[in-house]
Chain A
């Protein structure tokens, strides 16, 4: 009786009340946990949630996707679609889901090149969606142009010869250098290049060829850059029409660069270059996003390299 009296008297302790409150708390807790457990995403469920039209191995087919699919498949509104059309679409969607799940079950992405390619393309598209949709503003374009002004010019063109006084045989490197210097001096004195070539027995390096013959025509500056090493290219850059370089030592002998004719690149104004700036900026944004994504994926990946693979990653000596 005393315990019963104390149950409602909160100023006094009551074992009965404590037990009832404890049990109530436990029941409420279990109820909340149970609700969370049976309604959380990925929870195995025997009921279909209202937003889904079906559950295929616990994977939802959303009503929204289903309705859109009916509309797309039959070019009609969902309200006007027939029972048969809806059934066909639903069957197709369930079948597709089953096939996708089977593909994952047999680990198709690990060995099928088409699936791998599609996955890579899909991920790349997803990560670069922002960059693709972003439109550079006028001020961003101008800032990029100012920062990379040297890139925006018309293409330079060169007509040049890369001539060599070969070493080997009886000709020492010192003798070759002397001969090359004499040849350069002769060219500078006004002798025609063809005569200098003949007189000093200069040979063409063979780096600029066109259909099996030495290319004596116009060559874009970027092509010259691709074919000459730094020393020769820098020498070529310093030359104007009719000039010849100092001898430059290379493995095969002493080289002379003779610039027959040159058209220098002409810097482009922002207005002239704005289309290129625009595409460069868009490409840069995409490249940066992709690189950032790869960095992120690598940072959280556990990549173990074999000894020989590690050697590949070390800088070449």
Chain B
């Protein structure tokens, strides 16, 4: 009889344990859900100042980054200049370093085909379309080298400067001071970091044949909270005044 009673007690305890486990899981789920809602409803600037919420954002973002973004941007966020994939570990952002700007890029992508993607301007193939000649392109390269403080042909750089402000119309997108414009996503041309590489051959290619970097739109792939968390995670790593990125 006592064996039967203890078996019954064990079964009842088992059932209670199962119920407790289910309740705990439900509580955790509700908690997570609440945190996710908080991450979305709180202003990103406030979250950046809240260590607890930032920890939560990083916890969500890190695995998502490794699963979806590391293929192009590298597992250490280092990018790939051979493909024009920006190095996200640096404090250089084409479209601004505010988490709202980063979130928009993740949501809709760059030239992704999504109607809201960042697609205001392309780097035109200035040589291919006949706007400037091959020689003028080489002069413009020397001018960029001079802006970056690198060794350059001074006479060619002077000619290149004229191309920058006249025939090439470069100042229109890259700004008078060549530091780029985050509204257009145009990179700074002052170095030292260059999106596609700063050697003469690559710079020549960028000017002569144009560039059209892409980033997919994640709006239908990641959840809103994953996207917000990713934006915060990336912004927090390099949340200092933006300086732009070299082409």
* A interface, CB within 8 angstroms of B: 8-10, 49-51, 62-65, 67-68, 71, 77-79, 122, 125-127, 129-130, 132-135, 275, 278-279
Contacts and interface: CB of A to CB of B under 8 A. Distances in A.
A51 B223 CA distance: 9
B41 A50 contact: yes
B224 A51 contact: yes
B111 A132 contact: yes
Interface of B: 8, 11-12, 15, 36-38, 40-41, 43-46, 98, 100-101, 103-104, 107, 111-117, 119, 122, 125, 127-130, 209-214, 224-225, 227-228
A129 B45 contact: no
A68 B115 CA distance: 15
Contact of B100 (A9, A67, A129, A130): A67
Contact of A50 (B12, B113, B125, B224): B224
B115 A126 contact: yes
A127 B209 CA distance: 23
B214 A133 contact: yes
B107 to A, nearest CB: 6
Nearest to A141: B209
B40 A77 contact: no
A231 to B, nearest CB: 38
Contacts of A122: 115
Contact of B119 (A10, A62, A129, A130): A129
A278 B128 contact: yes
B225 A51 contact: yes
A265 B227 CA distance: 57
Nearest to A65: B116
Contact of B104 (A64, A133, A275): A64
Contact of B45 (A50, A78, A127): A78
A62 B224 CA distance: 9
Given A51-B224, A278-B128, A135 B45 contact: no
Contacts of B37: 50
Given A8-B12, A129-B111, 12 more contacts: A8-B15, A49-B224, A51-B225, A62-B107, A62-B224, A71-B100, A77-B100, A126-B115, A130-B113, A132-B212, A135-B210, A275-B127
B114 to A, nearest CB: 8
Nearest to A67: B100
A77 to B, nearest CB: 6
Contacts of A77: 45, 98, 100
A49 B111 CA distance: 28
A86 to B, nearest CB: 10
Contacts of A49: 224
B12 A78 contact: no
A71 B115 CA distance: 19
B107 A64 contact: yes
Contacts of B40: 50-51, 63
A125 B103 CA distance: 23
B100 A64 contact: yes
A282 B205 CA distance: 17
Contacts of A134: 212
A125 B227 CA distance: 25
Residue from the set B98, B100, B128 with the largest chain A CB neighbour count within 10 Å = B100
Contacts of B122: 132-133
Nearest to B34: A50
Contacts of A132: 111, 122, 212
Contacts of B103: 64
Residue from the set B125, B130, B227 with the largest chain A CB neighbour count within 10 Å = B125
B41 to A, nearest CB: 5
A315 to B, nearest CB: 36
Nearest to A8: B11
Nearest to B103: A64
Nearest to B22: A28
Contacts of A65: 116
A18 to B, nearest CB: 15
A64 B209 CA distance: 34
B100 A78 contact: yes
B184 to A, nearest CB: 13
Nearest to B38: A50
A65 B111 CA distance: 17
Nearest to A279: B128
Residue from the set A9, A50, A79, A278 with the largest chain B CB neighbour count within 10 Å = A50
22 contacts: A8-B8, A8-B12, A9-B11, A10-B11, A50-B41, A51-B40, A51-B228, A62-B107, A67-B100, A68-B100, A68-B104, A71-B100, A71-B101, A78-B98, A78-B100, A79-B43, A79-B45, A126-B115, A132-B111, A133-B122, A275-B128, A275-B130
Contacts of B98: 71, 77-78
A9 B228 CA distance: 50
Nearest to B109: A129
Contacts of A51: 40, 224-225, 228
A133 B11 contact: no
B221 to A, nearest CB: 14
